[in-house]
Chains A and B, each alone.
Chain A
Amino acid sequence: MTEPEITDTAIPPLSVAQENENGRAVPVAGAAVMFDSVTKVYEPGVTALSDVSFVIEKGEFVFVVGASGSGKSTMIRLILKELDPTSGRIIVGGRDLSRLRRSKIPQLRRNVGCVFQDFKLLPNRTAAENVAYALKVQGENQNSIRRKVPEVLSLVGLSHKMNSLPDELSGGEQQRVSIARAFVNHPPLLICDEPTGNLDPDTSVGIMQLLYRINRSGTTILMVTHDREMVDKMRRRVLALSEGKLERDERRGGYVGE
């Protein structure tokens, strides 16, 4: 299997977010994620996000960078509706989250794959079982589970380790399992919270190539990262947060602003 080079940039065309007369982003049909002047205040005086607006189109690959405490995690939790914004509007996959009933949150999360720095695999289940678990809880039938699990594990290059427990896998392999779990349903949006944060540089490149391939298949990827080299090399859209404010939104940005 030949992995595509990261530098082989067939970047999907970026449609420019439309702006209204106030300079605010307005909803674009088919936007994967839209923040419309979103503010999140945890308690009086503790502002995690303040007046953040952006639109991410379907199929984009977006890095979110910023120091610790700049509001990156809050952003992810807002997209998953683990938190509700203090003010402003969030639209994910065409749904207005403020109008989403609590009972519909599972449906939202089925359409947003998540990959985390610490993998969040269940330690007492094998790689295949971990992936199957995601399908099971969503009520998939046994036949389609038996079909989809090997398929997605082979996509992430782990066909030979299907029956290994997480402890028996390397960090990179565990992250591949967690990507397989996030992607097994082919969600339109994949959120990655520092997916390479615990991995050495070589392994990180492998994970990035995998995410890149997933992105090429049409999946929107929103990736929070501290990996300066990776961001500078990929030259994709960068959202830079600083103390809860959107500091930069560059179509082909680097880790640090020009």
Chain B
Amino acid sequence: MTQLQLLLAESLRSLRASLSTTFAATMTVLIAMFLLGVSIALGSWVVSWSNNVKKDVQVKAFFCTENTCAEAVSDQQVGAVQRWLEADPRIKEGGVTFVSKAEALEIMRERSPELVKDLTYNPLPDAFEIQPKRAEDVEAIAADLRRQTFAGVEKVDYGRATARRIIRVGQVISIIFFGVVVLLLAASGLLIANTIRLSIYARRREIEVMKLVGASNWFVRGPFMLEGLFTGFAGALLAVILLLLGKEIALPAILGRVDADSDVQALAFAWTALILLGLGLLLGAAGSGLTLRRFLRV
């Protein structure tokens, strides 16, 4: 029998011996991981939603018409603005869309037909719709564009208040989400640490004998380390199973069929599952490591 086999056998033996403590720890990890999984799903959905909303945040550059300036904008002037915009790294690739006055009228007709109905001519200007890579940049882009004072550009605008609010909400949600996750992780780590401590206490006699007969340090610590890893992993695995059941059975029953090809999506379940399992192992190792350092000086 190799040392490794022996170590595994000893760990299993100790797991069986302290079944109730192990069970309690696994359950606490399960609860923490379940909540964490829900937070990840919910949080990533909210982040995705706010990103989706942010997509609508854009800068608009309106060009001159005969009515607003002395003369209408020329194609060269439009071209100059376009070249300047496309050189700006903050702007999304292909994020500059030209909306002609005819298209603008068409859009307006769709939105509010009674307003357009009585128009004798098209008062709307040509415009660029500019999408930044990050919604946070709209203000800066608009300001820079204004400073350039391109000939033919009548007005640079962006949805100031809306943009700010959407960005703000997104940030707050991310921070709260992050805080909750950190709190839950710390709690489960401490719970595992505490369980290992109980387990060390329950087996202090065995540890005493181990030291007495000259067991190497890793031999004394190994079973506890494995126990921590096992607890973390088992708890996470159970949580993943519960989450999967919830996702496949409970959610559709409550919400009905969720639109699958919507732009707003939670993080893929496989990723959530992987994150939870990885974190379970990490928590187990951290929790038992923490306790072993303090309570098992060999």
Say whether chain A's binding surface is mostly helix, strand, loop, or mixed: helix
User: Which bucket holds chain B's interface residue count?
Assistant: 10 to 19
Q: Is A106 an interface position by the 8 A CB rule?
A: yes
- Kindly state the separation between the CA atoms of A16 and B208 in the bound complex, as whole angstroms: 36
Say whether chain B's binding surface is mostly helix, strand, loop, or mixed: helix
Q: For the complex formed, measure the closest distance between the CB of A176 and the CB atoms of chain B, giving whole angstroms.
A: 16
Q: Is B117 an interface position by the 8 A CB rule?
A: no
Contact of A106 with B214 in the complex, beta carbons under 8 Å:
yes
Q: Is A107 an interface position by the 8 A CB rule?
A: yes
Residues of B within 8 A of A14 (CB): none
Q: For the complex formed, measure the closest distance between the CB of B119 and the CB atoms of chain A, giving whole angstroms.
A: 88
Q: Give the contacts of B190-243 with A (CB-CB under 8 A).
A: 205-206, 208-217, 219
- Kindly state the separation between the CA atoms of A136 and B209 in the bound complex, as whole angstroms: 12
Q: Is B1 an interface position by the 8 A CB rule?
A: yes
- Kindly state the separation between the CA atoms of A102 and B205 in the bound complex, as whole angstroms: 21
Contact of B213 with A109 in the complex, beta carbons under 8 Å:
yes
Q: Give the contacts of A98-140 with B (CB-CB under 8 A).
A: 102-103, 105-111, 114, 120-124, 133-134, 136-139
Q: Is B6 an interface position by the 8 A CB rule?
A: yes
Contact of A137 with B217 in the complex, beta carbons under 8 Å:
no
Q: Is B151 an interface position by the 8 A CB rule?
A: no
Q: Is B298 an interface position by the 8 A CB rule?
A: yes
- Kindly state the separation between the CA atoms of A122 and B214 in the bound complex, as whole angstroms: 15
Contact of A120 with B1 in the complex, beta carbons under 8 Å:
no
Residues of A within 8 A of B205 (CB): 120, 122-123
- Kindly state the separation between the CA atoms of A123 and B204 in the bound complex, as whole angstroms: 13
Contact of A139 with B217 in the complex, beta carbons under 8 Å:
no
Give B6's nearest chain A residue, CB to CB: A136
Contact of B208 with A106 in the complex, beta carbons under 8 Å:
no
Q: For the complex formed, measure the closest distance between the CB of B52 and the CB atoms of chain A, giving whole angstroms.
A: 57
Q: Tell me which of B1, B3, B17, B217 contacts A106 (CB under 8 A).
A: B217
Residues of A within 8 A of B217 (CB): 102-103, 106
- Kindly state the separation between the CA atoms of A114 and B208 in the bound complex, as whole angstroms: 12
Contact of B215 with A137 in the complex, beta carbons under 8 Å:
yes
Q: For the complex formed, measure the closest distance between the CB of B261 and the CB atoms of chain A, giving whole angstroms.
A: 59
Contact of B298 with A105 in the complex, beta carbons under 8 Å:
yes
19 pairs, CB–CB < 8 Å, chain A vs chain B? A102-B217, A105-B298, A108-B214, A109-B212, A109-B213, A111-B214, A114-B212, A120-B212, A122-B205, A124-B17, A133-B213, A134-B213, A136-B6, A137-B213, A137-B215, A138-B213, A138-B214, A138-B215, A142-B1
Chain B residues in the interface with A (C-beta under 8 A)? 1, 3, 6, 17, 205-206, 208-217, 219, 298
Chain A residues in the interface with B (C-beta under 8 A)? 102-103, 105-111, 114, 120-124, 133-134, 136-139, 141-142, 181
